[in-house]
A and B are shown apart, each in its own frame.
Chain A
Amino acid sequence: MSDLLTLAFTAFLVQNIILTQFLGICSFLGVSTKRSSAIGMGLAVFVVITLSSLLTWTIYYKILYPNLIFMRTIVFILVVAAMVQILEMAIKKFSPTLYRALGVYLPLITTNCAVLGVALLSIQNEYTFTETLIFSAFTSLGYTVIIITFSYIREQMHKAPIPAGFKGIPSGLIAAAIMSLIFQGFTGLF
């Protein structure tokens, strides 16, 4: 139990997926300019990462292991792409409100490194099913929390007098640097 707790906190804070592992930076920089889009993207990524990691884990150990492990990356990316498609159709059909909130971000998620990254890391670290669940849920929670927090910071930064050359991405990266400095404080907490 305490192992799972450590795993959860490590995945969420110490090894934060954006600030220390640098996965999903493209969407992080692209979408975090507006609060509403950051919330939509954050939630969509949370759902997709958790579901796809569990799905890829199951496929890896039930179908690919041990004779077809060489197809790992190819199968995983297909699973992620297919899952995003199915999820999009399902949400469209059952909840138009949710679709309006998340729909635009779903297609973007296929090429988000965080999704494939978490799926591959759970296999590489040889996690069990429960560990994969905890790891993927808390890693993606780390993503969601950071991207939403960051959107608030960037909305404020929008009002600040920043030199023209540093507007947008550069100042965003520098703000992320300060934020990752804060998260480095969590190293050694466990």
Chain B
Amino acid sequence: MLKTLYFAFFLGMTGVFVTVVAYLGFTLTDPYIQENRITAINNNIAILYNPDDGYHRNEFQADNAYQEKNYKLINAVYEVLDEDEEIFAVIYNVSAQGRNGIISALIAVNPYTDTVEAVTYYDHSETPNIGEKYTRDDAIISLIGQSISDVEVDAIANATVTWTAISSMFDEVEIHYVQEEVHLND
């Protein structure tokens, strides 16, 4: 009996010690983690829109303001503001399973005209000269200007999996765009 009590006491003390150390560790590192997250968003926006021209992240955009967590392929949605603090574009950070791994992309949509403004694949491992062709400039240029409600991705021979992945990204963006009423009036 005494032994059991001692064991319980010992385990309890271990539990308290572990919780306290974990809490301390968490509070000390959390500010850096949040800062990293914001840097990552800024870097992502800078890929498409040069911060020197006054384009920047909407600092007051709330976490999950676009309900993006309900959409499987959408990692995040960023509002990009121009110099006059007006919304200039909405960037979708999306990723989908490709042929050799996850394909991650940024898709910028103009919320006034509902067209694709810019696209970049910032992380992928598609096979060079096959699936990788989708990430080249001419493939991206053909996407720009298309209406978000009906984006057609040109198919490239022998790269069906990559095509499916990229099409599913645009489909998901379209569904989100309509469902969450991202469209803005001038």
Pair B18/A188 contact, Cβ less than 8 Å:
no
Task: Determine if B120 is an interface residue (Cβ-Cβ < 8 Å).
Answer: no
B26 surroundings in chain A (CB, below 8 A): 70
- Report if A71-B22 is in contact (Cβ < 8 Å); known contacts: A187-B99, A188-B99: yes
B69 surroundings in chain A (CB, below 8 A): 126
How far is B39's CA from A184's CA once the two chains are assembled, in angstroms? 36
Pair B18/A74 contact, Cβ less than 8 Å:
yes
Closest to A125 in B: B72
Closest to A73 in B: B22
Task: Determine if B67 is an interface residue (Cβ-Cβ < 8 Å).
Answer: no
Contacting residues of chain A (172-190) with chain B, CB-CB under 8 angstroms:
187-188
Task: Determine if B164 is an interface residue (Cβ-Cβ < 8 Å).
Answer: yes
Task: Determine if B161 is an interface residue (Cβ-Cβ < 8 Å).
Answer: yes
Name the one of A70, A187, A188 contacting B22, with C-beta atoms under 8 angstroms: A70
User: B51 to chain A: closest CB distance in Å?
Assistant: 31
Closest to B101 in A: A187
Number of residue pairs across A and B with beta carbons under 8 Å? 17
Contacting residues of chain B (21-42) with chain A, CB-CB under 8 angstroms:
22-23, 25-26
Task: Determine if B61 is an interface residue (Cβ-Cβ < 8 Å).
Answer: no
User: A11 to chain B: closest CB distance in Å?
Assistant: 13
- Report if A71-B160 is in contact (Cβ < 8 Å); known contacts: A126-B69, A187-B97: no
Interface string of A64-78 (1 = CB under 8 A from B): 000000110010000
Pair A188/B161 contact, Cβ less than 8 Å:
yes
User: A42 to chain B: closest CB distance in Å?
Assistant: 27
User: A30 to chain B: closest CB distance in Å?
Assistant: 29
Indicate the size class of the contact surface on chain B: 10 to 19
Task: Determine if B142 is an interface residue (Cβ-Cβ < 8 Å).
Answer: no
Interface string of B50-70 (1 = CB under 8 A from A): 000000000000000000010
How far is B21's CA from A71's CA once the two chains are assembled, in angstroms? 10
Contacting residues of chain B (62-88) with chain A, CB-CB under 8 angstroms:
69
Pair B160/A188 contact, Cβ less than 8 Å:
yes
B127 surroundings in chain A (CB, below 8 A): none
Contacting residues of chain A (39-94) with chain B, CB-CB under 8 angstroms:
70-71, 74
Pair B97/A70 contact, Cβ less than 8 Å:
no
How far is B131's CA from A188's CA once the two chains are assembled, in angstroms? 13
Pair B18/A70 contact, Cβ less than 8 Å:
no
User: A13 to chain B: closest CB distance in Å?
Assistant: 13
**Contact residues of A with B, CB < 8 Å?**
14, 70-71, 74, 126, 187-188
The 7 closest A-B pairs by CB, nearest first: A188-B161, A70-B26, A70-B22, A71-B22, A74-B18, A126-B69, A188-B164
Ordered by A's residue number, 17 sampled pairs between the chains whose C-beta atoms are within 8 Å are: A14-B97, A70-B22, A70-B23, A70-B25, A70-B26, A71-B19, A71-B22, A74-B18, A74-B22, A126-B69, A187-B97, A187-B99, A187-B161, A188-B99, A188-B160, A188-B161, A188-B164
